[in-house]
Structure 1
Amino acid sequence: MNPIDLIVEPLSYGFMVRALVTTVVAAVVCALLSCWLVLVGWSLMGDAVSHAVLPGVVLAYVLGAPFALGAVVFGFLAVGLIGAIRDTSRVKEDAAIGIVFTTLFALGLVLISVTPSQTDLNHIVFGNVLGVSVGDLVQVAALGAVVAAALLYKRRDLVLYAFDPGHAHAIGLSPRRLGALLLGLLALTAVVALQVVGVILVVAMLILPGATAQLLTDRFSRMLLIAPVLSVVCATVGLYLSYWLDAAPGGLVVVTQGAAFALVYLFGPRHGLLTRRARRDGAAPPAAVGRVEG
């Protein structure tokens, strides 16, 4: 089979086309948001919110409401509970995050186990991108467009909030509102990525693209370009690998992104571990240079 067939054959199936479009949308949106999560240092918060939305999504399914509504409600509930535990007890923030997100995630699993459904709700946990319907695709595209538009429209305010919340407050911006905006967009993004990788692996798509881009550039504006491009390439490669290897698509999408991070971490042109060591070893110490010249 020639390389063209390797690319074209999967696209002859409607479910693969829908899966590819859904995966690309999720990859772009997650990558954009991941730039801010990495910059602000909210990796643990991203993990907490992405897991805490599970009961909200299940309850929304039971009530016939949009998944996004349940996700946003429980996303903010998780953040509120984390803040309450941190501020009213001796428990530190990282422990509060662990307590809240594991409890809410477990509640979601319980709700899945007792909710009668004609569809397999476990797909919320593990993802089911190959089973995406046209309606699911429309919902993902709409939510993705909302998140991307909000991030790009407020990017300057959000960047200032990430670098210097005090300065943002001094010029009239509200750090509290900007933080709430990021958390709301995080909850919506979790719903977008649920279709692709499920609740368990959402945090990987929310962290890996931004972390990889951060190793490739020192400018945030370039991160906003590099992260989505890398994420889309990795997601597409992972989806194709899942087709040809008959393996879990969500898992391979994340594995591919992890492999890209490992390559950049080791061989990145500026911050790669082996690249920096090679530059150090290749540069002779000043004293040694003097002796050679003498």
Structure 2
Amino acid sequence: MEWLIEPFSYAYILKAHLVSLFLCAFCGFLSSFLILKSYSLLADALSHSITPGIVIAYTTSFSYTVSSFLCGLFALFSMAIVSKSSKLKTDTIIGIVFSSFFALSLFLVSIFTIPVKLESLFLGDILSLEDSEVFELAILLGSLFCFILLSYKKIKFIFFDELGAFVAGLNVGFYKIMFFILLCFCTVASLKTVGAVLVTAMLVAPGASAFMVSKKFDKVVFLATIFAGFSGFFGVYLSYFLDTYASAMIVLTQLFIFAICFMYKRVVYDRVFA
């Protein structure tokens, strides 16, 4: 039975387990709100839009986190400007913006020499996390958690009834902007865990799974957080024994949970509440 706890005897794997647990759990938390407002495509756009920031960071020795975050904010700002200045539908704007940013990142990769493998940029490499990066992530996640703890009820009110929240005196614009900044931060932080390509799954699948199990939003948030945290921890654990990408196993674990929730909804939930 000692082989079951063998992965935890290595410091770098234990570090990867803890980072993926907390980071994926936060992704799951945000996932509930994204599914509630049908913002799943926005998560996909943001995950692709920050890729130029990754390349810029490696070619200029600029901060990896800051560069990616600024690219994400610029993408959100671009989508907002185009949306207000044209009659195009939101999904059209998102499709144009995220594909443009991703194409830009590939262009930059082709003309600059990058001291890392291309797949590590887009597929994640959580096992190579440095102590400084873990410390940076800890500060980032701690700050995000404190803000959510103080603003959860207000954000939930705004997402359920934006007009009612405005009438009640809440600064709707401020809290919506802060939510998207949180989303951008979370996406950037997830780059090392599951990469820019697979981060969309962690921002969509947990919430989608939870909504099939419960209709009470607070319970959905709780379940999505648990599902995502478990996927992050168990995905890294499985990747050790299967000798494969941790990012792939994290997402596949989450998709397995989604399949279970889907079957539960079809077989149990729909029959009981039909």
Quickly name the TM-score band, shorter chain normalised. over 0.9
Distance across 2 between alignment mates of 1:203 and 1:219: 24
Which residue in the other structure is 2:236 paired with? Answer: 239
1:245, distance to aligned residue in structure 2 (A): 1.1
Tell whether 2:106 aligns with 1:109.
Answer: yes
Distance across 2 between alignment mates of 1:273 and 1:233: 23
| Residue in structure 2 matching 1:252, options 225, 230, 249 | 249
Which residue in the other structure is 1:146 paired with? Answer: 143
Which residue in the other structure is 2:204 paired with? Answer: 207
1:114, distance to aligned residue in structure 2 (A): 2.9
1:101, distance to aligned residue in structure 2 (A): 0.4
Greater C-alpha Rg? 1
Which residue in the other structure is 2:3 paired with? Answer: 5
Structure 1 unaligned spans of 5+:
284-294
Contact 1:75 1:183 in 2 (8 A): no
Distance across 1 between alignment mates of 2:9 and 2:35: 38
Tell whether 2:36 aligns with 1:43.
Answer: no
| Residue in structure 2 matching 1:132, options 114, 121, 129 | 129
Which residue in the other structure is 2:85 paired with? Answer: 88
Which residue in the other structure is 1:273 paired with? Answer: 266
TM-score normalised by structure 2 residue count:
0.92
Runs of 4+ in 1 over 6 A off after TM superposition: none
3-state SS, counterpart of residue 154 of structure 1? helix
Question: What does 1:22-33 correspond to in 2, within 5 Å?
Answer: 22-33=19-30
Contact 1:33 1:151 in 2 (8 A): no
Distance across 2 between alignment mates of 1:114 and 1:125: 17
Percentage of matched positions with identical amino acids? 29
RCO (CA 8 Å, sep 6+): is it higher in 1 or 2?
2
Which residue in the other structure is 2:169 paired with? Answer: 172
CA-to-aligned-CA distance 1:4-62 (integer Å, 9 cap, x gap) = 521x1011122211211121121111111112111222111111112111112332344
Equivalent residues, number: 274
Residue 205 of structure 2 aligns to which amino acid in structure 1? Answer: L
Of the structure 1 ranges 183-192 and 143-152, higher mean CA displacement relative to structure 2 is found in 143-152
Tell whether 2:61 aligns with 1:68.
Answer: no
Which residue in the other structure is 2:52 paired with? Answer: 55
Which residue in the other structure is 2:183 paired with? Answer: 186
CA-to-aligned-CA distance 1:104-157 (integer Å, 9 cap, x gap) = 011122223333333335412110011112122112222222222222221011
Distance across 2 between alignment mates of 1:256 and 1:208: 10
